[in-house]
Structure 1
Amino acid sequence: MSKLTAWLTPENDRKRKIRAIAFTVLIAVLLTVVCIYCAGEYGFALFVITPLFIGICPVIIYGKKKPITRSDAFYIGSLTLLFYCFAMMLFALEGLICIIMALPFAFFLVWIGSVIGYEVISKKPKGGAPTIIALLFIIPVFSFIEKDSAPSITSVTTGIDIDASPEVVWKNVVEFPQLNEPTEFLFKTGVAYPINARIKGNGAGAIRYCNFTTGSFVEPITVWNEPKLLAFDVLEQPAPMKEINFWDVDAPHLHDYFVSKKGQFKLIALPNGNTRLEGTTWYYHRIKPEFYWRMWSNYIVHSIHNRVLKHIKANSERTNLQD
């Protein structure tokens, strides 16, 4: 341990900074591998404690032989986070879009970690090593503990008013032709989006296929109340996105971590003869903290809903005009 400490804290300021960052990135990547591939968990250990570690560790190492300020601490912590993100992409552990989604929360936690590291090394220099060792123990242990926690199901509802009767809208809800290429920036980043829908059969028990750019949602119909309600379960679903990376990334979170359970289209007849169409998706994800990732997933689901609802609206109103 003394030899490692001596190697990590040379007198040369630049070398000490480089080694502090490199050591932290190496350990953080190894801990990430343990969380994802050994514990199978994208949770608090990965998205909360690991960023804290990234903020704490390099500050303690770098500040061991040189007084530093709070701004110095945050700078070195932020630099370490960016190199960690680059390493995640370089070793095909994660893609660019997911990293961008995580960064706002990660920077906040790195800032907290840098403050903790600054306080430790400023007021209790000998407490630096035990703090780092404790985090090295807590992260993998916590990732195995939290893996058994059950996710909660969330529903997202999006609505649109259509200048057509429920009978006309219904025909365009059950199945719809090819959608135009998306104009939304979100869908140009690799996030999967719907391209058409087909149905085999009629009534409850029929199978609807909502085809996305990454594959098909297989949706057995559970309620066929024409022209008021079409409800379905989700039997199979494709990957939620195609990662942007130097390599072809097939991260574990692309499989069974964002799970759509069921959905429905509700058609409400309006007094003027038009239709209020509401699409609802019930889903869960096994990525924590839920409050943060739910903001992203709700936004994505709303965007998918809007793409489909606008397409149904255009087709229904076109049919209405032709009639």
Structure 2
Amino acid sequence: MINPFSFNGPIGRITYALWALPIFFAQYGAGWLAGHAQGVSISNYDVFYAFPLRLLFADQVGPKFGYASQFFSLPMTLGGLAFMLLACWTLAALTYRRALHARGGGWLAAAVLMPLLQLPVILVMCVVPPRQPSAEPLLDADRERKIAGWGGAAQGMIAGIALTLAAVALSALVFGAYGYGIFLASPFVVGGITGYLANRAVPLNDRETNRIVFRTGFFACLALMVTALEGIGCLIMAAPLAAFAAMLGGIVGGDAARRKRAGLVSSVAVLPIIFALEAAFPPSLVFGTEQTIAIAASPDRVWSAIVRMETIKEPIALIHHIGIAYPVRGRVFGEGVGALRYGDFSTGTAVERVTEWEVNRKLTFVVLRDIPGLRELSPYRHVHAPHVHGYFTTRETSFELIPRADGVTELVERTSHELRLDPALYWLPFARFMVDTNNARVLRHIKEQAERSMVASSPSP
């Protein structure tokens, strides 16, 4: 029995097939079960065969559970994320070890992280015959370890930083792709190249290698900020996923250097292919949220607080300090269907059109022009990060007023959004949390404004 999480030692075709194929098809099994539980037919879900794990949050694709299923989808999403990361780890480890046996390039371990390339890579590695191992011995670990180690580490860090800048610029500015390529494959390749160069002159252990990889990642983030390619907010959110992939790459790169296998350097060539595939098959996930608040005011007071919303003076939450957009006030011009609403946010003003207008009962509007999802914290006024525009958008918002016999009005806010980032399993919890935080801020303000108006209108004793 082999350890599927280990990167050490070559494995043959049969062993590889017995492990890699079940892990690959397990993703489809998990996706099918999740879709079946949520009443979603695979035949109605176009991208299932390319991205099966997206059905883990398919509650917004099928109507069975509707908005109430948001409470069900969060554990599904987090569980799916853990499953995806385990699958990435094991497939990368198994593919690298099979490449050792076939004397193939280590770049295949990077390619197998991309869902669209997983099955072709696995099938190729199942049939490629073994080759005779090189007669070259492993590097001598006692050879001027400190001096050579520092030299290799410096080379690895410089190369890793340069490759990070090139990969982000190519993916974001040329292909406009924010997915597996930029958040998983690129960090994996950067970690692999860094680990390879750091171990080329003198071998380091995995802990020492990944210490260099993480330092490279830190300085690469600083370089992205200095070159105005990214801001602090996005870097903080992407860091855990990128660090995971870079760690795996560092292990692969270190092992390749100790075996004097230079083929890993060719993994750089697979990145443009991944970016191009993601540009051709862009992610698109629609999800909805629902929140309810009880307001001690009549429906007409609540309605007035919605259509003539005052400036929200509540202190902003912690996530807003890193640039995430938050609501400031809302203004409706005109009455009835077709009226315009202007939603002021910290990052700009959204223009919305009213599609349902039932006085004191329901207000629904669709977004005509959305605002940037965040304002990147950066020393520069303008950051060249396309993801702040269009990669997370609000499609529709509705307020429903439900009067109760005790004089309290229940206000239900429902919103619909589109997320165009991958892995969606990673980004969806962030998106939900940001939406829920902003919606709760709006509801608390409407409650405070309506109740204050109700008290002011009450006759004096």
Instruction: Flag whether TM exceeds 0.5 (same fold).
Output: yes
2: CA distance, partners of 1:207 / 1:198: 8
| Counterpart for residue 6 of structure 1 | none
- For 1:1-323, what aligned pairs fall within 5 Å after superposition? 12-122=148-258, 124-126=259-261, 129-133=262-266, 135-149=267-281, 150-180=283-313, 182-250=315-383, 251-322=385-456, 323=458
SS in 2 for 1:153: strand
2: CA distance, partners of 1:108 / 1:32: 17
Structure 2 counterpart of 1:162, one-letter code: I
> How far 1:186 moved relative to its partner?
2.1
1: CA distance, partners of 2:317 / 2:175: 36
Q: Deviations over 1:34-56 (max 9, x none)?
A: 11111111111101101111221
> How far 1:165 moved relative to its partner?
2.4
Structure 1 counterpart of 2:154, one-letter code: I
Q: In structure 2, do the counterparts of structure 1 residues 54 and 43 end up closer, same or farther at CA, with 3 Å as the change threshold?
A: same
TM-score scaled by structure 2?
Answer: 0.64
SS in 1 for 2:288: strand
Moved over 4 A (4+): none
Q: Deviations over 1:252-271 (max 9, x none)?
A: 11222222111111222234
> How far 1:204 moved relative to its partner?
1.0
Q: Deviations over 1:227-278 (max 9, x none)?
A: 2221111001222222111212332112222221111112222342212212
State the identity %.
28
Q: Deviations over 1:4-36 (max 9, x none)?
A: xxxxxx973322211111012102211211111
The answer for unaligned runs of 5 or more in structure 1 is 1-9
TM-score scaled by structure 1?
Answer: 0.91
2: CA distance, partners of 1:306 / 1:99: 26
Structure 1 counterpart of 2:276, one-letter code: F
The answer to whether the 8 Å contact 2:196/2:255 transfers is: no
Q: Deviations over 1:58-82 (max 9, x none)?
A: 1111112212111112111111111
2: CA distance, partners of 1:92 / 1:298: 27
The answer to whether the 8 Å contact 1:93/1:249 transfers is: no
> How far 1:125 moved relative to its partner?
2.5
Structure 2 counterpart of 1:89, one-letter code: M
| Structure with max Cα Rg | 2
SS in 2 for 1:264: strand
> How far 1:181 moved relative to its partner?
5.2
> How far 1:192 moved relative to its partner?
2.0
The answer to whether the 8 Å contact 1:94/1:249 transfers is: no
SS in 1 for 2:285: coil
Alignment: residue pair count: 310
> How far 1:187 moved relative to its partner?
2.2
1: CA distance, partners of 2:218 / 2:390: 28
SS in 1 for 2:336: coil
Moved more, 304-313 or 147-156: 147-156
Q: In structure 2, do the counterparts of structure 1 residues 170 and 118 end up closer, same or farther at CA, with 3 Å as the change threshold?
A: same
Q: Deviations over 1:189-212 (max 9, x none)?
A: 322222211111111111111111
> How far 1:182 moved relative to its partner?
2.3
Structure 2 counterpart of 1:262, one-letter code: E
Q: Kindly indicate which of the two structures has a greater share of residues assigned to strand.
A: 1
